[in-house]
Amino acid sequence: MSGIGPCARNQSGDDGDFMPARDAVPDMSLAAETRRAVDRRPFLRTALRAGVVNYTAAARTLAVDGETDAIATALRRYADELPAYGTESRDVRVRMESGIGPLESARDDADTLLTVGGQAFGPVDSDLTAIVAAGDVDAAALAAVLARLTAEELSPTAAGVAEDALVIVVERLEGANALRAVEDALERVGAQSG
């Protein structure tokens, strides 16, 4: 272990697992700590990929022990290593179904549109509306849709994605706005890379 520097013992005090002390390799540790802090904030990672971050301001918000300028430099270097942000349009058909609500039983019900946590939703002449997107959908598409709905201050009652279907359940009066938001979100889903 020569060249690593002083090591901190594990808490049990035995000679087992140990890590280099933070001051033994400050630049590498600061960079790694900064990366971990960014990776815990997906929105910041996306912003770094898109090149729209004020590094100094972002450095001030991270819970990383170090000088703001050093953290900003670590952010800049990390951004340089990340793949560029891009979006892709998804090939989907989006439709709206009114009169959706909770079903009493989801067992073998061909009308079930969505089941989340044991609660099934389907046509029951209720005050909810389902937005159904069929085609090229996945978890990234669902995340984009939910982010867009949040930006529009629309709060889904339930949401899910499986195989080639994405379903969002909203209040009936929010249906038209939710439909537009879902269509728009699926036009610009973050491309999956890195």
Q: What is the pLDDT of residues 76-127, one digit of tens each?
A: 999 999 998 877 788 899 999 999 999 986 555 677 999 998 899 999 989 9
| Number of H-type helices and E-type strands within the chain | 6, 10
Say whether pLDDT at 130 is over 50.
Answer: yes
Find how far residue 193's CA is from the centre of its chain. Answer: 14
Angle ∠(144,147,150) on CA atoms, nearest 5: 150
* Fold (CATH) for 88-190: Alpha-Beta Plaits (3.30.70)
DSSP assigned state of 191: P
pLDDT at 18: 42
Statement: residue 75 has pLDDT above 60: yes
- What are the CA-CA distances from residue 188 to residues 23, 84, 88, 144 (Å)? 44, 15, 5, 8
Q: Is the pLDDT of residue 63 over 70?
A: yes
Q: Where in the chain is the domain with CATH 3.30.70.260?
A: 88-190
Length of the chain: 194
- Residue 55 one-letter amino acid: Y
